[in-house]
Structure 1
């Protein structure tokens, strides 16, 4: 993971992970090998004190199983958040996958005497609106316990004699 924040108003991070997977049979023969990697890029910008905007791009793949392989899939999203009423009201507009209508998940599966390919098209494009309101001042308060009543959790007497 790599984070970069050149100024207070701009931040970016990159997350990369990957690996190599190999499946071997009973007699040590290589049955399947896969290179798996995932990439996530995020950028956030705060042009003003009460406004923030950002974006995300993700290129991901499910880890393979023996006899199953899933192709990479990508998604992107953008958001704009504004805070109003002395930061008590927060409104966020979130747009996911604005450039493609469907997200295709392609899976290949094979075994003894069969091969199958599946294509699942899932609705990808969405628009969301989140409205949040915070009640109270938002300041921390200290709670002090009233110890005027002499009681203890270790007192096991019932008062009955």
Structure 2
């Protein structure tokens, strides 16, 4: 009997996905992925450290669309949007969720690393230091189980 390639791939990915989650573990020693990936309906009351957009004070976004939307609405000193690209996930942040780092760069300026947390219904409205932010013109899809009254 020939092995099913999809079943083999799934069998390899499940342990890897569990190994990537390095946040607080329940008392059983197992990581609760559902809890870690659940969206915050409100802004959690946690101690934040550092400037907005740092690992200790990440940008709150509603899903990957929200991350890209926030970065696309940033404006450099010349009024133009910066270039940005996703570096990858970097670990668990102060809200207890996985963080992503993005490279952000204005023309002729050094690149910056901006840290974002995509598991929020209440999104960040302030710009990171050195940038302005423009209003959203086109609504983006809501990610996950956000209530319609969450902003």
Name the TM-score, length of structure 2 as normaliser.
0.23
Which is helix-richer, 1 or 2?
A: 2
Which is strand-richer, 1 or 2?
A: 1
